[in-house]
Chain A
Amino acid sequence: MASKFVKALGLGAALCAGLLLAPASFAKDWKTVVIGMEGAYEPWNLTDSSGKIVGFEPDLVMDLCKRAGLECKIIAQDWDGMIPGLKAGKFDVIMDGMAITDERKKEIDFSKPYAVSPGAFLAPKDSPLTKARDAGKLVDLDKDPKGGDAAIKGVQAALKGKTLGVQVSTTHANFASQYMKDAASVKEYKTADDRDLDLKSGRIDASLDDYPVMVATASKPDASELAVVGPRFIGGAFGAGTGMGIRKSDADLTAKFDKALAEAIADGTVKKLSEKWFKVDMTPQS
Chain B
Amino acid sequence: MGERLGNLAIFGFGEGGWGLALLEGAAMTVLVSAVGLIVGGIIGGLVAWSRLSGHRLAGAVGRSYAALFRGLPELLIVYFVYFGTSTLLTDIARLLGHEGFVGVPSFAAGALAVGVISGAYQAEVYRASYLAVSRGELEAAVSVGMHRWLMFRRIIFPQVMRFALPGLGNLWQVALKDSSLISVTGLAELMRVSQVGAGSTHRPFAFYLGGAALYLAMTLVTTRVFDVAEARATRGMRRAAG
Contact residues of A with B, CB < 8 Å? 4-5, 7-12, 18-19, 21, 23-24, 26-28, 40, 46-47, 49, 51, 76-78, 81, 84, 88-90, 191, 193-194, 196-197, 200, 220-223
Contacts and interface: CB of A to CB of B under 8 A. Distances in A.
A222 B202 contact: yes
Contacts, number: 88
Given A47-B196, A51-B21, A84-B83, A24 B101 contact: yes
B202 A200 contact: yes
Contact of B202 (A5, A49, A220): A220
A191 B125 CA distance: 39
A4 B101 contact: no
A196 B88 CA distance: 37
Nearest to B99: A26
Contacts of B94: 24
A28 B99 contact: yes
Nearest to A26: B100
Interface string B179-199: 000001010100000001011
B90 interface: yes
Contacts of B186: 76-78, 81
Contact of A8 (B67, B91, B198): B67
In terms of DSSP, what is the predominant structure of the interface of chain B? helix
21 contacts: A4-B64, A8-B63, A8-B71, A10-B64, A11-B61, A19-B88, A21-B87, A26-B100, A26-B101, A27-B99, A28-B100, A49-B15, A76-B186, A78-B184, A81-B186, A88-B86, A88-B101, A191-B199, A193-B200, A197-B198, A220-B1
A197 B64 contact: no
A239 to B, nearest CB: 25
Contacts of B210: none
Nearest to A51: B21
Enumerate the 9 nearest inter-chain pairs by beta-carbon distance, A residue then B residue, closest first: A193-B199, A89-B101, A8-B67, A7-B64, A11-B64, A8-B64, A8-B68, A21-B91, A19-B84
B196 A222 contact: no
B4 interface: yes
B17 interface: yes
Q: How large is the interface on B (under 10, 10 to 19, 20 to 34, 35 or more residues)?
A: 35 or more
Nearest to B10: A49
A32 to B, nearest CB: 11
A194 B184 CA distance: 14
B16 interface: yes
B169 interface: no
A193 B91 CA distance: 36
B212 interface: no
Contacts of A18: 88
Contacts of A200: 202
Given A19-B88, A24-B90, A84-B83, A221 B4 contact: yes
A200 B65 CA distance: 46
A194 B199 contact: yes
Contact of B199 (A28, A40, A222): A40
B204 interface: yes
Contact of A90 (B1, B68, B71, B103): B103
Given A7-B63, A11-B64, A88-B101, A24 B91 contact: yes
Nearest to A19: B84
B3 to A, nearest CB: 8
A49 B21 contact: yes
B101 to A, nearest CB: 3
A81 B200 CA distance: 20
A46 B200 CA distance: 9
B60 A7 contact: yes
B18 interface: yes
Contacts of A26: 99-101
B84 A51 contact: no
A281 to B, nearest CB: 22
Given A49-B17, A49-B18, A90-B86, 4 more contacts: A8-B71, A26-B100, A49-B16, A197-B204
A47 B68 contact: no
A197 B200 CA distance: 10
Contacts of B86: 88, 90
A76 B103 CA distance: 14
A202 B202 CA distance: 14
A197 B202 contact: yes
